């Protein structure tokens, strides 16, 4: 098992758990919990594959991914009352998931021969869109559209990852650099509340 694959599994489970927790906050039944967990963890990759015409979809080609998300969701239900003790571990796993899924999305687009801009965008879609779908289904403003540094971290990771490959730098070096920069920026943003500028307009003129 490679390090990247292990990190992907950890991030996938963390994403699924965040979906299950969101379902729990809205008192959803077991079907809702399992579905929201799967959508959160796999929705970004699904949307990427649809946009790129990359078939079969990742979870169709590898159905065991649904088993991972379902297992993480059921685990969340069983240990939900204790998860607040693991807040920082959960934030770390979520950050790892964002970084790793972004790179995996970039890999898929690069293998298809897409231009650099589409590769970076594919990485961002893979890393972020699952959370957007989760929030929309839960009837709340998606985290992606708030000022928090999330999508911007994904774009930076994608740019480093793709740029390194374009420059001919070794794959392992590029991967480590992208992971280090992405995790550092995301965790510092959470710690210090860094965010993007907001557009606030309260005038009612029409």
Q: What angle do helix axes 87-111 and 30-52 make, rounded to 10 degrees?
A: 30
pLDDT range class, residue 205, cuts 50, 70, 90: low
Contacts of 105 (CB under 8 A, 6+ apart): 44, 45, 48, 122, 123, 124, 125, 126, 127, 158
Residue 147: the pLDDT is 64
What's the pLDDT tens digit per position in 52-101?
999 999 999 999 999 999 999 999 999 888 877 888 887 888 888 899 99
pTM given for the model: 0.90
Half-sphere exposure of 89 (CA within 13 A, CB side): 8
* Higher local confidence (pLDDT), 18 or 201: 18
Specify burial of residue 99 (Cβ count, 10 A radius: 0-12, 13-18, 19+): buried
The two tokens of residue 61 are: 């080609």
Whether 98 and 161 have beta carbons less than 8 Å apart is answered as no
pLDDT range class, residue 206, cuts 50, 70, 90: low
Which of 46-50, 132-136, 172-176, 189-193 has the largest mean confidence?
46-50
Measured CA to CA, the distance from residue 78 to residue 25 in angstroms comes to 15
């Amino acid at each position: 098992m490679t390090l990247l694959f292990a990190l992907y599994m950890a991030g996938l489970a963390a994403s699924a758990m965040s979906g299950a927790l969101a379902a729990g906050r809205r008192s959803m039944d077991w079907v809702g919990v399992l579905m929201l967990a799967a959508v959160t963890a796999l929705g970004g990759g699904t949307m990427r594959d649809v946009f790129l015409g990359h078939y079969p979809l990742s979870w169709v080609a590898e159905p065991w991914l649904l088993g991972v998300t379902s297992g993480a969701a059921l685990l969340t239900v069983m240990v939900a009352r204790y998860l607040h003790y693991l807040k920082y571990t959960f934030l770390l796993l979520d950050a790892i998931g964002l970084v790793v899924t972004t790179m995996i999305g970039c890999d898929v687009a690069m293998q298809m021969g897409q231009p650099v801009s589409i590769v970076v965008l594919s990485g961002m879609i893979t890393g972020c869109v699952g959370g957007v779908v989760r929030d929309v289904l839960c009837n709340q403003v998606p985290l992606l559209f708030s000022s928090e540094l999330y999508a911007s971290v994904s774009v930076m990771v994608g740019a480093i990852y793709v740029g390194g490959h374009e420059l001919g730098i070794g794959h392992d070096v590029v991967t480590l650099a992208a992971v280090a920069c992405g995790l550092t920026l995301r965790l510092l943003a959470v710690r210090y509340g860094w965010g993007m500028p907001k557009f606030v307009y309260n005038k009612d003129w029409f």
